[in-house]
Amino acid sequence: MGRRGHQAGRGAQATESTEMRRSASHQLKRTTGDRSGRPGMATPVALLVVLAAMVGAGRVAGSDSGPLLSAQEDTTPHSEARLVSDVASIRAGVPFTVGFHVTLDEGWHTYWQNAGDAGNGLIAEWRLPGGFVADSFAYPIPERIPYPPLVNYGYNDEVVFLATITPPPDLGAGGSVRLTLLADFLVCEKICIPAQAERSLELPVRDAPPLPSGDSVLIRRFADRLPVANAQWGTRAARTDGGFVLDVAPPEGWEGSLGGAYFFPADPVLLDHVADQPVGRTEAGAYRVRLTESAYLPGEPQRIEGVLVLPDGAAFNAAGRRGLIVSAAVASANIAWAAEPDEPVAAAGMAVGVAAGNGATANGAGGVSLLVAVLFALAGGVILNLMPCVFPILSLKALGFASRGGDRAGMRRDGLAFAAGVVVTFLAVAGLLMAVRTSGAQVGWGYQLQSPAVVAALAALMFVIGLILAGLFEVGVSLTRLGGLGGSGEGSAFLTGVLATVVATPCTAPFMGAAVGAALIRPPVQGLVVFGALGVGMAVPYMALSFWPALSRRLPRPGRWMETFKQVLAFPMFAVAIWLVWVFGLQTGIGGAARLLLGLLMLAFAGWVIGRWPATVISTRNRLATRALALGAVIVALAAGVAAIRGETPLPAGGDVAAVEWETWSAAAVEEHRSAGRAVFVDFTAAWCISCQVNERVALEAASVRRVFAERDVALLKADWTRRDPAITSALASFGRSGVPLYVYYPADPSAEPIVLPALLTPNIVLETLEKESST
């Protein structure tokens, strides 16, 4: 806001401005009504606009003996205004966009169409050559500007009001046309000053497609802030005691939350501008915004009209639009919502067609049907078995089957218990995820490994399992048989399923992109079905193994080889532990990793104590002593772990996995490069995502790919999701994804749609994508 910074000087400023106002009013009185033909106003287009005071005074100074404003006042205006166009020349019959660009001093603002509790929007009047038609100005999404006890709606810093102008079809080429705008607007800090600007724009007329002007980037930037009409978003409104509810149903495939959304009413006497607008969810899964009526409501409104604006970083569609045009009929409160179809959002005249504007609707990636999502989930579940982070656990499972030998009933029970463990865990994780999502947090699949505490715990678990497999010590029946290690029984099989699932989650994202994305935005029951299918898919090979003896006969017989096999399996466990320590190190720094390793050492010591003096062969006294020692070691290990997590340090920008030429991703960076005419390649990645690392090594860092990237001057951006980052989460959501990896290529042509690459990359896939673009 910057208002605070003005506090100190406010008294003086107010006085000065009041003085200015006084002379302004004096002048205004004299000049009101003769706005045309002003001799002193042949000023260049880009001159400062000032307050009415200065316009008036300047005019008078050139004509008669009116009071002159001092030079000091003349050089301290609070705003500038320009008339800009997105084209350098125009052509008969081809519409183009013009913008009224207002730049404001820090702490000053101007208003939206509904200014809120005080103030006024833009009043504009065109002077156009014959046959030219101008649409009314469209307002970019405003900010809420609180000024207790009032609230205004407007713009700080700068704004471009946009209008489309259509030249007549019979306009002759060769000459040029002059477009003139007379604009009245308010410039406000704590006090408000009416500003008047007469601005002209001279544009050549050519018989050629209009080329973008230097201001086209500015216009594009503000066109992207215009609210969009999108019939995929269902909106409806109902009367409540003292206000209204506005229900907003996202389209299928949309991910994100309306938490923090704010509804700007078009009508200044519809709502209380000061009141909070709590956002909730309805039972049907729509978002419900609670609105408080204005004390000045003139009657019963028929419609709720305005713009719903999402907080920074969230978007209504893949193009990143934050404002949604709402026009919903007001129903009486007793109507049963669920029975009727969504009412489409009316396309009000607020959306301006900008030549380069990308009005893409919600991305289709997540819009798969439930059946397709379930099939994807099943297939994805089966593939999960082959993922490196699941493999060691499942190897153990195979070991468990082997130990069962010919006990077919036992194997079947085992298989079912394992399946149950997998499915239940998937459901539990999904339930948790949905609960968190509902509460508004930006969470994506794979989030478990974004928490250092979970990483540390998993590292310790993997390490201890490795120690057990390696034979350092054995766990008694009384201890939990996590992972079914060397044991048997349904309980242990169930726990194997649980463990396998927890470890598998980070691997699901690459294969499950669309299905998981779809599951998370579906109504809870459907989402759970998809997740359940994922679990079933993962358990299928083991159930098959346990049910069909023909398959199980292929399993080796139990024997001494098992011990060897078990010990060999310790190494993948340690490998996983090393990977987890590495991830932890990325999250907490080298000191954190060292503390975690110290903790692991203490766990190893505790394991050694237990293995050296097994409970069954020592006296009670010794047992107490050794177990106390082991417990002590575990406590030290825990303390080390906690210290490691506490010592968490921020990631260096971009993470250390980023090669030198990769810039840190931001939506703004993408926009910047694209508007500079560069193609952009975005690598959405995370340290804990193995597929991401593989893709980077194999494809993105391949010499052939790097060469082509360099040749085509592709801007390379890396979005590192190792730690939770809401901006990245919502960017993923805009592509219908909730996890990494995701590779997106934005062609150099700014109007072209971004291309999403497959989750498994080869150099050829990347090269072909780049090739395809240049050939079109």
Smallest gap from Cβ 301 to another protein, in A, equals: 13
Contact indicator for 237, 329 with CB cutoff of 8 Å: yes
CB 33, min distance to another protein, A: 6
Stretch that binds another protein, among 56-64, 146-154, 303-311, 730-738 (CB under 8 A): 146-154
Question: Among 295, 336, 409, 525, which residue interacts with another protein (rule: CB under 8 A)?
Answer: 295
CA dihedral 518, 319, 763, 505 (to 10 degrees): -30
Q: Which range binds another protein by CB under 8 A, 26-34, 314-322, 334-342, 574-582?
A: 26-34
Residue 32 binding another protein, by CB under 8 A? yes
Task: For tokens 């790919």, name the residue.
Answer: 705
Give dist(CA 293, CA 273) in Å, integer. 9
Angle 592-597-602 (CA atoms, 0-180°, nearest 5)? Answer: 125
> Which residue's entry shows tokens 């292929």?
554
Q: Which is nearer to another protein, 52 or 171 (CB)?
A: 52
Distance CA 606, CA 462 (A): 15
CB of 509 to another protein, least distance (A): 39
Sequence-ordered alpha helix ranges (H) in 660-725: 667-675, 690-695, 703-711
Q: Near another protein by CB under 8 A, which window of 59-67, 77-85, 118-126, 418-426?
A: 118-126
148 interacts with another protein by CB under 8 A: yes
Q: Cβ 307 to another protein, closest distance in Å?
A: 19
Q: Is 370 helix (H, G, I), strand (E, B) or coil?
A: helix
* Only segment of 119-127, 237-245, 283-291, 361-369 that touches another protein (CB under 8 A): 119-127
Residue 278 found at the interface with another protein (CB under 8 A): no
Under the criterion CB under 8 A, does residue 33 sit at the interface with another protein?
Answer: yes
How many angstroms separate the Cα of 262 from the Cα of each of 306, 370, 642? 10, 31, 40
Give yes or no for residue 465 binding another protein (CB under 8 A). no
Residue 666 makes contact with another protein by CB under 8 A: no
Contact 81, 122 (CB under 8 A): no
The answer to whether 755 and 701 are in contact (CB under 8 A) is no
Q: In angstroms, what is the minimal distance from the CB of 55 to another protein?
A: 13
Here the contacts of 44-47 (C-beta below 8 Å, separation 24 or greater) are 45/82, 45/83, 45/199, 45/200, 45/201, 45/202, 46/82
Instruction: Give 753's Cβ-side CA count (13 Å radius).
Output: 11
1 binds another protein (CB under 8 A): no
Determine the interface stretch with another protein among 145-153, 329-337, 367-375, 552-560 (rule: CB under 8 A).
145-153
Strands 303-309 and 109-116: unpaired
Tokens of 219: 């216009």
Assess 624 for contact with another protein (CB under 8 A): no
Q: Which of 184, 252, 305, 342 binds another protein (CB under 8 A)?
A: 184
Q: Which amino acid is at 522?
A: R
Q: How distant, in Å, are the alpha carbons of 663, 667, 681, 747 from that of 752?
A: 22, 17, 14, 6
The encoded tokens of residue 604 equal 């190893």
**Of the residues 29, 553, 554, 560, which one makes contact with another protein according to CB under 8 A:** 29
Distance CA(449)–CA(360), nearest Å, equals: 33
Q: Return the structure tokens found at 365.
A: 């990636």
For residue 192, the minimal CB distance to another protein (Å) is 5
We find the least distance from the C-beta atom of residue 343 to another protein, in angstroms, to be: 27
Task: Single out the segment in contact with another protein by CB under 8 A; choices: 292-300, 425-433, 663-671, 758-766.
Answer: 292-300
Measured CA to CA, the distance from residue 634 to residue 605 in angstroms comes to: 9
Please, which residue, 28 or 41, has the CB nearer to another protein? 28
φ, ψ of residue 76 in degrees (nearest 5): -120, 60
Do residues 79 and 110 lie in contact, with contact meaning Cβ atoms separated by under 8 Å?
A: yes
Residue 274 or residue 424: which is nearer to another protein going by CB? 274
Under rule CB under 8 A, residue 756 binds another protein: no
Alpha carbon distance 45, 39 (integer Å): 15
Residue number with CB closer to another protein (33 or 175): 33
- How far lies 637's CA from each of 201, 416, 575, 623, in Å? 73, 36, 20, 21
193 makes contact with another protein (CB under 8 A): yes
- Residue by residue, DSSP assigns 738-756 as SSS-EEEEE-SSTTSPPEE
If one asks whether residue 37 binds another protein (CB under 8 A), the answer comes out as no
Chosen residue from 1, 5, 9, 14 binding another protein by CB under 8 A:
14
- The yes or no reply on residue 540 touching another protein (CB under 8 A) is no
Q: How far is the CB of 291 from another protein (least distance, A)?
A: 17
Of 10-18, 127-135, 415-423, 587-595: span binding another protein (CB under 8 A): 10-18
Task: By CB under 8 A, tell whether 296 contacts another protein.
Answer: yes
Are residues 638 and 646 in contact, defined by beta-carbon separation less than 8 angstroms?
Answer: no
Pick the binder of another protein from 140, 268, 381, 517 (CB under 8 A): 268
152 interacts with another protein by CB under 8 A: yes
Q: Does 693 bind another protein (CB under 8 A)?
A: no
To the nearest whole angstrom, how small is the minimum distance from the Cβ of residue 297 to another protein?
A: 7
User: Which one, of 630, 597, 624, lies nearest residue 611 by Cα?
Assistant: 630
Q: Is 27 in the site for another protein (CB under 8 A)?
A: no
Q: Residue numbers of the site for another protein (CB under 8 A)?
A: 10-11, 14, 17-18, 21, 24-25, 28-29, 32-33, 117-120, 123, 147-150, 152, 184, 186, 188, 190-194, 268-269, 295-298
